[in-house]
Structure 1
Amino acid sequence: MSNKLSTKLRFGIPAILLGGALLTTGYQNSPSSRFINHYVDSVLTEAQKRLPDNSLEGVKMTDGLTVKTFATEPMLINPTDIDVDAKGRVWVLEAYNYRPNITLNPTKKEGDRIVILEDKDGDGKADGSKIFYQDASLNAPLGIAVLGNVVLVSQSPYVWKLTDTDGDDKADKKEILFQGIGGEQHDHGMHTFVFGPDGKLYFNFGNEGRQLKDVNGNIVKDQFGKEISPKNYQEGMVFRCNLDGSEVECLGQNFRNNYEVAIDSYGTMWQSDNDDDGNKGVRINYVMEYGDFGYKDAMTHASWPSNRTNIEEEIPRRHWHLNDPGTVPNLLQTGSGSPTGMIVYEGNLLPSAFQGQMIHCEPGHNVVRSYPVQKSGAGYTADIVNIMKQEKDQWFRPADVCVAPDGSLIVADWYDPGVGGHQAGDQTRGRIYRIAPNNTPYSVPSLDLSTPTGAITALTSPNIATRYLAWEALTKFGKSAEPELLKLWASDNQRMKARAFWALCKIVDGKKYVEIALADANPDIRIAGLRAARQLKLNVIEYVKQLSTSNDPQILRECAIALHGNTSVEVPTIWADLASKYDGKDRWYLEALGIGADNNWNACFAAYLKKAPDPTLTLAGKDIVWRARTTESVKFLASLATDSHISLKERLRYFRAFDFIKGKEKSETLLSLLKGNATDQNAINKLALNHLDVDFVRTSPLAKQSLSKLLSTLSGKEYIELQTKYLLPEENSRLLSMVSKGEMPRQAAEALIKSPEGLIMVKQIINDPKKEVLALQLLNGIKSNGGQVSIDVLKGLMLNKTRSVSIRREATRAIGDSDSGQNLILAYLKEGKIEKDYIPFAVEGVSKAWRRNVRIEASKYLGASTSTAKKLPPVTELVALTGDAKKGAAVFASNCSVCHQVNGDGMDFGPKLSEIGSKLGKDGQYFAIMYPDAGIGFGYEGWDIKMKDGSTMSGIIASKTETDISLKMPGGIVQNIKTSAVKSMKMMNNSMMPTGLMDGMSKEEAVDLIEFLASLKKK
Structure 2
Amino acid sequence: MLQLVVERVSIHAGVIRGLTPRGSRSLSDCVRILACRSHPPASPRRESSMPRRQSALILCSALLLAGFTGLAVSQVSDTDPAGEYGEKWHILTVPGTWDEQTEGKLDNYDGIAWYRCLITIPGGWREKEVLVRIENVDDAYEAFFNGTPIGGSGAFPPDYQPGDPEPVELAVPEEAVKAGKNLLAIRIFDHDGRGGFKGAAPVVLSGDQGINLNGLWEFRTGDDEAWAEGPVAITNTGIFWRTMAKDAAIELAKVESTALEPAEAAATLVVPDDLEVVQVLSEPEVRQPLYMNWDERGRLWVMNYIQYPYPAGLTMVSKDEYWRAVYDRLPEAPPNHFPGADRITIHEDTDGDGLFDAHKSFVEGLSIATSFTKGRGGVWVLNPPYLLFYPDADNDDVPDGDPEVHLQGFGFEDTHSVANSLRWGPDGWLYACQGSTVSGNILRPGIDKPEQSVHSMGQLIWRYHPESRTYEIFAEGGGNSFGCEFDAKGRVYSGHNGGNTRGFHYVQGGYYQKGFSKHGPLSNPYSFGYFPYMQHHDVPRFTHNFIIYEGGALPERYSGKLFGVEPMQGQVVQAEIFPDTSTFATRDINRPILTDDKWFRPVDIKAGPDGAIYVADMYEPQISHREHFSGQIDKSNGRIYRLQAKGAEPHVVPDLGALSARELIEVLRHPNKWYRQRALVLFGDRKDGSVVEELKAHIREETGQFPLECLWALNLSGGFDEEFAAEALEHADEFVRMWTVRLLCDDHTVSDSIADQLASMAAGEPYAQVRSQLASSARRLPAEQGLPIVEELLARSEDLADVHIPLLLWWAIESKAGESREMVLELLSEPETWELPIVRQHILSRLMRRYAAAGSRQDLITCAKLLRLAPSKEHTDQLMKGFEEAFQGRSLATLPEELVKAIDESGSASLVLQVRQLKPEAVQEALSIAADGGGDAAQRLALLQIFGEVDLPESVDVLLGTISGDAGDELKMAALTSLMRYDQPRVAEAIVAAFPSLSADAQAAALTALSSRAAWSKALLQAIAGGRIAAESIPLDTVRLMTFHQDQDVAELIGELWPDVQGASNAQMQAELADATELLKTGSGDPYRGKQLYQKSCGKCHLLFGDGGRIGPDLTSYQRKDQSRLLVNIVNPSAEIREGFESYMVLTEDGRVLSGFLFDQDENVIVLRGVDGQNVTIPRETIEEMAPQKKSLMPEGLLKDLNEQQIRDLFAFLQASQPLNN
Structure-2 residue corresponding to 1:262: 485
Supply the distance in 2 between the matched residues of 1:649 and 1:55 (Cα, whole angstroms): 62
| One-letter amino acid matched to 1:250 | I
- Alignment pair present for 1:411 and 2:611: no
Instruction: Give matches, 1:770-849, under 5 Å.
Output: none
Return the letter of the residue paired with 1:78: Q
| 2:837 is equivalent to residue 588 of structure 1 | no
Q: Secondary structure at the match of 1:93?
A: strand
Do structure 1's residue 193 and structure 2's residue 403 form an aligned pair? no
> How do 1:365-404 and structure 2 match up within 5 A?
365-369=569-573, 372-385=576-589, 387-388=591-592, 390=594, 392-404=596-608
> Structure 1, residues 539-592: CA drift from partner, whole Å, max 9, x if none?
340330341222333322222222224236354344322212245333411122
Q: CA deviation at 1:650?
A: 13
Q: CA deviation at 1:130?
A: 1.4
CA shift at 1:458, angstroms? 3.4
Consecutive unaligned residues in structure 1, runs of 5 or more: 1-43, 221-225, 307-318, 690-699, 739-747, 758-763, 769-781, 790-932, 968-976, 992-1019
Counterpart contact for 1:326–1:591, Cα < 8 Å: yes
> Is structure 2 residue 626 aligned with structure 1 residue 425?
no
Task: Tell me the CA shift for residue 404 of structure 1.
Answer: 0.9
The question of whether the paired residues in 2 share the 8 Å contact of 1:572 and 1:607 is answered with: no
Q: Does 1:74 align with 2:293?
A: no
Paired residue type of 1:497: P
**Structure 2 partner of 1:19:** none
Q: Does 1:141 align with 2:369?
A: yes
The equivalent residue for 1:606 is 825
Q: Which amino acid aligns with 1:55?
A: A
Residue 89 (structure 1) aligned with residue 299 (structure 2):
yes
Does 2:730 match 1:525? Answer: no
Aligned pairs (5 A) from 1:480-499: 480=691, 482-483=693-694, 486=697, 492=703, 494-499=704-709
Alignment partner, residue 696 of structure 1 = none
Change (3 A) 1:724 1:961: farther
1:327 matches 2:530: yes
Change (3 A) 1:989 1:285: same
Determine the structure 1 residue equivalent to 2:475: 252
For the residues of structure 2 that align with 1:521 and 1:481, how far apart are their CA atoms? 20
- How far has the Cα of 1:157 moved from its partner? 0.9
Deviation at 1:246, TM superposition (A): 1.8
Please give the alpha-carbon distance, in whole angstroms, between the structure 2 residues aligned to 1:660 and 1:581. 36
User: How far apart in 2 are the matches of 1:127 and 1:116?
Assistant: 11
**Aligned residue in 2 for 1:117:** 347
Residues in 2 aligned to 1:990 and 1:199: alpha-carbon distance in whole angstroms: 36
- Decide whether the 8 Å contact of 1:178 with 1:212 is kept in 2: no
Counterpart contact for 1:585–1:620, Cα < 8 Å: no
Calculate the TM-score normalised by the size of structure 2: 0.49
> Deviation digits for residues 737-771 of structure 1, max 9, x if unmatched?
99xxxxxxxxx9999999999xxxxxx9xx99xxx
Gaps (5+ residues) in structure 2? 1-253, 317-322, 326-336, 852-858, 914-921, 949-956, 977-992, 1005-1082, 1117-1171, 1174-1192, 1200-1206, 1217-1222
Output the CA distance in 2 between the equivalents of 1:650 and 1:66: 61
For the residues of structure 1 that align with 2:924 and 2:564, how far apart are their CA atoms?
57
Quick one: which amino acid aligns to residue 439 of structure 1? G
Q: CA deviation at 1:83?
A: 1.3
Deviation digits for residues 205-238 of structure 1 (CA, Å, limit 9, x no counterpart): 3453422222327359xxxxx94523xx654443
TM-score by length of 1: 0.57
Higher gyration radius (CA) = 2
Q: Secondary structure at the match of 1:563?
A: helix
Aligned counterpart in structure 2 of residue 288 of structure 1, from 507, 511, 515: 507
Deviations 1:776-799 (A, max 9, x none): xxxxxx9xx9x999xxxxxxxxxx
Query: Counterparts of 1:981-996 in structure 2 under 5 Å?
Result: 985-987=1210-1212
Q: Which whole-Å deviations, capped at 9, do the CAs of 1:844-900 have from their partners, x for residues lacking one?
A: xxxxxxxxxxxxxxxxxxxxxxxxxxxxxxxxxxxxxxxxxxxxxxxxxxxxxxxxx
Task: From 761, 767, 771, give the equivalent of 1:547.
Answer: 761
User: Which of 764, 769, 777 is matched with 1:562 structurally?
Assistant: 777
CA–CA distance in 1 between the matches of 2:943 and 2:599? 51
Q: Which residue of 2 aligns with 1:946?
A: 1093
Matched, 1:446 2:649: no
How far the C-alpha of 1:356 sits from its partner, in A, is 4.6
1:876-935 CA distances to partner (integer Å, 9 max, x unpaired)? xxxxxxxxxxxxxxxxxxxxxxxxxxxxxxxxxxxxxxxxxxxxxxxxxxxxxxxxx99x
Change (3 A) 1:703 1:344: farther
RMSD of aligned Cα (Å): 6.0
Distance 1:701 1:263 in 2: 64
Say yes or no: does 1:212 pair with 2:442.
yes
Q: 1:157 to 1:619 in 2, by over 3 A?
A: closer
1:490–1:943: structure 2 CA closer, same or farther, 3 Å change rule?
Answer: farther
Q: Does 1:626 align with 2:845?
A: yes
What residue is the counterpart of 1:34 in the other structure?
A: none
One-letter amino acid of the counterpart of residue 632, structure 2? G
Amino acid at match of 1:79: P
Q: CA deviation at 1:59?
A: 4.8
| One-letter amino acid of the structure 2 residue matched with residue 575 of structure 1 | V
Deviation, 1:52, is 2.6
- Partners of 1:218 and 1:56 lie apart in 2 by 50
Instruction: Measure how far apart 1:516 and its partner are.
Output: 3.3
Structure 2: distance between partners of 1:251 and 1:481: 28
Quick one: distance in 2 between partners of 1:518 and 1:186? 44
The 8 Å contact of residues 464 and 470 in structure 2, kept in 1 or not, is answered as: yes
Q: Is the 8 A contact 1:257 1:274 kept in 2?
A: yes
1:200 to partner: Cα distance = 2.7
Q: 1:141, CA displacement in angstroms?
A: 0.9
Number of aligned residue pairs? 721
Change in 2 beyond 3 A, CA 1:957/1:228? closer
Aligned counterparts of 1:725 and 1:296: Cα–Cα separation in 2: 36
| Cα pair 1:788 1:950 within 8 Å, conserved | no
Q: Aligned partners of 1:436 and 1:398: how far apart in 2?
A: 16
Provide the identity percentage.
17
Corresponding residue to 2:403 among 167, 171, 175: 175
Aligned to 2:689: 478
Are the structure 2 counterparts of residues 980 and 290 from structure 1 closer, same or farther at C-alpha, using a change threshold of 3 Å?
farther
For residues 649-705 of structure 1, the C-alpha deviation after alignment (integer angstroms, 9 at most, x for no partner) is: 999777436689999997779978998999xx9xx989x99xxxxxxxxxx979976
Partner SS for 2:403? strand
Give, as a single letter, the amino acid of the residue that structure 2 aligns with 1:420. H
